[in-house]
A and B are shown apart, each in its own frame.
Chain A
Amino acid sequence: MLIEIKDLKKSYSLGESEIPVIHGINLHIEKNEYVAIMGPSGSGKSTLMNILGCLDTASSGHYYLNDIDVSTLDDDALSLTRNREIGFIFQNFNLLPRLNAIQNVELPLIYAGVPGNERRERALKALERVGLSDRLHHKPSELSGGQRQRVAIARALATNPGILLADEPTGALDSKTGVEIMRLFDELHKEGNTIILITHEQEIADYAHRNIYLKDGMIHSDRPNQHRRELMSQ
């Protein structure tokens, strides 16, 4: 099992008082699943994503990633896990503005300790995969929104992580570009990647095979996506 979450709770302390955000979640995600996590703002979906991505740790409960209890890991081990197991794709792309496309994609490989030549090769391959072979030396400011998100996806793919974790990946894009990005996710899923999508838009969630609704820090519903087939046939 790729991800197993048991009775996970998270609260933030604000002065004296504790503000609970996630009230105990149980969740299983298998390899090569395509899951959308949905919910209104304040439902705790961003917090859940941070925990799933090892950017943050839970207050209590357990999060097993590849059968390793993440809550027991120290900061260095969490960094290593982010590097090896997780590819982030953010709404606002989060590319480094001073680096060009290929350098941005190389970034996780640098921290993985991949030597220069191999690094370049793998970054090239990842950019090729997202269809940006002709934009290698452009800086983010010289790219369109869709192209920037493709660079970010290439960066997430570079280390061949177990999970692609996408946080509102089409939120900053127009609908046409958004559809293109979602097609790309679909292809990546078919190639064997596990994708977890965080979104508040039903349209986007419809691309996934499984929809999980969060409400007030709890799982409200968790079911296979019924609309998917219709959508794909269009």
Chain B
Amino acid sequence: MQYGENIRLALQGLVDHKFRSFLTMLGIIFGVASVITMLSIGEGAKREAIAKYQDLGVNNIIIREKSLSDEELEEVRAKFSQGLSIQDANVILEIVPGVEKVASQAEKNTEVKFDDKSVKSTVIGITPDFLSLMNYTVQQGYFINEKHYNERLKVCVLGAGVAATFFKGEDPVGKLVKIDDQWLEVIGVLASKSLFTETVGELAARDLNRDVYVPLSLFLNRFTRENVLSSEIQQITVQINNSDKLIEASRIIDEILKRHHFNNDDYSIVIPYELLKQEEKERQIYNFLLGAIAAISLLVGGIGIMNIMLATVMERTREIGIRRSVGARKIDIMGQFVTESVAISITGGLIGVLIGIMLSLVVTLFTDITTFIKPYSVFIAFSFSVIVGVSFGYLPAKNAANLKPVDSIRYE
């Protein structure tokens, strides 16, 4: 018997019993939909984390001043630590093996003004190396270079958010903005970056698009510190040539800084790559749990199919007898019933895929959870549903095939 006949028969059966078929499929539909949604949430979280840590640089070690209260700060200074300094940065570049570049940055929260508008911003003094250390791109104009730095030119590069507030589509390059009592010329605008919504170590969550970058030399020379006891700089970013040596390098950096800061614990070291790996590990357990729950719902869906198919076989004993009497072999009957349960699970699987994709979109639209549907997750969920159909359809089909023709033809 041709296999096409089985498929035609099975589809006919589905259409003949629309409501029953739908109920039978429900388990598979929800199973597949939940597998796809859960995988997409897991994948979304992964991509978000990777993007976040990529912004910080996966080969970077970040040394950050600890935020201390005024009393703590006084105590630390009394114990001879001057906080993070450019000298620390130079020592690290000289001593630590595998260091490619070091960038110091000083920060100050202040207002930036243009015309009658003002924005609360973080003004950051940086060295020209900064751009190549971080994964930032310049959207308009250009970035601060050696000349600006060496000559302490009064220039600045705006974050995308600041530029949008001030200039609304106009070309900001060449315009003058006022920071504290200084007038600076805008030479470039950075591309918009995903918001830094989580605090990573000492890196407080903030809107990176509200940053304004100026040459560090200018910053130290022209801007007053927030506090007389403040450190010279707030952050040192160290780029290592090999991500395998990150931990080793960070240990050496820690040793050096301990000595220079007279054992004062006024800095912290963040390794974005290590945090990424750690977070991934935690997420893996979480994803596994989600996957297991989804898999159980698929399993329950399969049992649902088996249950209905067993009942169907009973109900159709007579039909089986008739088919056997006109020449159907066991394998023909078997094929017919397996095809039917596979047809149910494939149809359910397809509906489940659609619902799963819609659910992921709904989750993205109405919550702040990022989702991403990988084609392979759709493939996995779908093929799983087919496997469920075959394996849970097998037993009922075998029962059907093993009915004795002589008994089933007279079954009332």
Q: Which residues of A contact B (CB under 8 A)?
A: 50, 53, 55-56, 75-76, 79-80, 82-84, 88, 90, 94-96, 98, 107-108, 110-113, 115, 155, 159
Contacts and interface: CB of A to CB of B under 8 A. Distances in A.
Shortest 7 CB-CB contacts between residues of A and residues of B:
A83-B327, A108-B326, A111-B327, A79-B329, A56-B406, A55-B406, A55-B405
B330 A82 contact: no
Interface residues of B, number: 23
B2 A113 contact: yes
Interface of B: 1-2, 5, 12, 16, 318-319, 321-332, 404-406, 409
A107 B322 CA distance: 10
Contact of A94 (B16, B327, B406, B409): B409
Given A79-B324, A108-B327, 11 more contacts: A55-B324, A56-B404, A56-B406, A76-B329, A79-B330, A80-B327, A82-B326, A83-B326, A96-B322, A111-B1, A115-B2
Contacts of B1: 110-111, 113
A26 to B, nearest CB: 22
B330 A75 contact: yes
Contact of B16 (A84, A90, A98, A155): A98
B409 A76 contact: no
A50 B328 contact: no
Contact of B327 (A82, A96, A98): A82
Nearest to B402: A75
A110 B5 contact: yes
Contacts of A115: 2
Task: With a 10 A CB-CB cut-off, give which of A79, A84, A94, A155 has the most chain B CB atoms.
Answer: A79
A97 to B, nearest CB: 9
Contacts of B328: 79, 111
Contact of A55 (B2, B16, B323, B409): B409
A82 B325 contact: yes
Given A50-B406, A113-B2, A94 B325 contact: yes
B405 to A, nearest CB: 5
Given A55-B405, A94-B409, A110-B1, A88 B327 contact: no
Contacts of A53: 325
A84 B1 CA distance: 14
Contacts of B323: 107, 111
A55 B327 CA distance: 10
Contacts of A83: 326-327
B409 A111 contact: no
A143 B400 CA distance: 29
A32 to B, nearest CB: 23
A115 B2 CA distance: 8
Contacts of A108: 326-327
Contacts of A107: 322-323, 326
Given A96-B319, A98-B16, A113-B2, A88 B325 contact: yes
Contacts of A90: 409
Contacts of A112: 327
B322 A79 contact: no
Contacts of A88: 325-326
A96 B319 CA distance: 7
11 contacts: A55-B324, A55-B409, A56-B406, A75-B329, A79-B327, A80-B329, A84-B327, A90-B409, A107-B322, A111-B332, A113-B1
Nearest to B328: A111
A77 to B, nearest CB: 9
A107 B5 CA distance: 10
B262 to A, nearest CB: 91
Contacts of B406: 50, 55-56
